[in-house]
């Protein structure tokens, strides 16, 4: 859950580059986006989850995510529902700590996260990319946009425990401990940035390589033969809107930290 918030904030609240760059270079686009996002204190997010496994599970797209985010101090209301799972969470920053209230049923669980509250800088994250690419995406929701693509090794950003938890969340507890710690965990990220304003319009996170590798490791070999590698498709799509115009919300009184 904390990584979900971190990913949202990573692409929305980062500081920019200062070097003089070509107007349409990847770094200049990042700088343009970062400069715009420094002025943003609230935004809304809607997202989809795409899940499928070749030959085993037909690909389905779920309208799964919705969230409202206020940046300073951090306050989040997130809702997820897909594949029979319902998840709701509130987060609030108070006195240098992040209180996370989450529920998958009738009861709420509260955690106090001691993690650093300042978001990972977009510039820092993109230095982990194997190859940052930029192109004109044309009209997106009626507005001209750039598209930034990068392949990122999660092992340079997340620790082993977080990767283990992600594997267990996506593929079940049996997946934890199977992924060799020395192998890269590659995700493909695409970000859409509005040309005129620099606002982040959309984010696509492709976990398919990671999931395919995990599923293949989980599939036992038949005696005398080697199992065929499995091809999975797991993608998260996020659409950002309502910059600085999100209607405020109240954390339920029974959860609010005084």
- Show the domain range for 225: 2-61+124-241
CA-CA distance, 128 to 167, in Å (whole number)? 21
Whether 168 shows a pLDDT value over 80: the answer reads no
Q: How much of the chain, in percent, has pLDDT values that exceed 90?
A: 9
**Triad 180, 182, 188: Cα angle to 5°:** 90
Q: Which of 141, 146, 150, 166 is nearest to 4 (CA)?
A: 166
Average pLDDT over residues 58-82: 89
Q: Are 10 and 125 in contact (CB under 8 A)?
A: yes
**Residue environment code for 128-144, b if the CB has 16+ CB neighbours within 10 A, otherwise e:** bbeebebeebeebeeee
Q: What is the pLDDT of residue 159?
A: 67
Higher pLDDT, residue 132 or 238: 238
Q: Does residue 83 form part of some domain?
A: no
The H or E element containing residue 48 is strand 42-53
Q: Does residue 95 form part of some domain?
A: no
Q: Does residue 130 form part of some domain?
A: yes
What is residue 34's three-state secondary structure? Answer: helix
Average pLDDT, the chain: 76
Q: What is the pLDDT of residue 177?
A: 64
Confidence of residue 165 (pLDDT cuts 50, 70, 90): low
Strands 200-206 and 232-241: antiparallel
Confidence of residue 174 (pLDDT cuts 50, 70, 90): low
CA-CA distance, 191 to 162, in Å (whole number)? 23
pTM: 0.76
Q: Does residue 251 form part of some domain?
A: no
Question: CA separation (Å) from 219 to 178, 225, 233, 235?
Answer: 11, 12, 16, 21
Q: What is the pLDDT of residue 12?
A: 37
Question: CA separation (Å) from 172 to 175, 176, 205, 218?
Answer: 6, 8, 20, 10
Q: Does residue 155 form part of some domain?
A: yes
Q: Does residue 91 form part of some domain?
A: no
Q: Does residue 116 form part of some domain?
A: no
Q: How many domains does one find in the chain? A: 1
Average pLDDT over residues 154-179: 64
Q: Does residue 209 form part of some domain?
A: yes
Residue with tokens 């490791």: 217
Q: What is the pLDDT of residue 225?
A: 57
């Amino acid at each position: 859950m904390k990584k979900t918030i971190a990913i949202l904030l990573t692409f929305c609240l980062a500081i920019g580059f200062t070097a003089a760059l070509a107007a349409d270079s990847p770094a200049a686009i990042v700088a343009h986006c970062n400069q715009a996002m420094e002025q943003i204190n609230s935004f809304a997010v809607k997202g989809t989850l795409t899940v499928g496994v070749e030959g085993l599970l037909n690909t389905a797209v779920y309208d799964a995510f919705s969230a409202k985010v206020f940046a300073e101090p951090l306050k989040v209301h997130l809702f997820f529902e897909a594949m029979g799972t319902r998840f709701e969470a509130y987060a609030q920053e108070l006195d240098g700590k992040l209180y996370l209230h989450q529920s998958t049923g009738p009861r709420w669980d509260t955690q106090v996260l001691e993690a650093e509250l300042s978001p990972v800088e977009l510039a820092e994250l993109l230095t982990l990319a194997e190859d940052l690419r930029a192109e004109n995406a044309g009209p997106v929701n009626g507005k001209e946009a750039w598209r930034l693509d990068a392949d990122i090794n999660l092992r340079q950003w997340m620790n082993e425990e977080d990767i283990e938890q992600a594997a267990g969340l996506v593929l079940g507890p049996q997946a934890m401990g199977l992924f060799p710690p020395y192998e890269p965990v590659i995700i493909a990220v695409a970000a859409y940035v509005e040309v005129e304003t620099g606002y982040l319009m959309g984010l696509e996170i492709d976990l398919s390589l990671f999931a395919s590798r995990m599923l293949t490791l989980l599939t036992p070999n038949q005696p005398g033969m080697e199992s065929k590698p499995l091809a999975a498709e797991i993608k998260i799509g996020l659409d950002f809107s309502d910059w600085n115009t999100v209607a405020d919300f109240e954390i339920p009184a029974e959860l609010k930290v005084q």
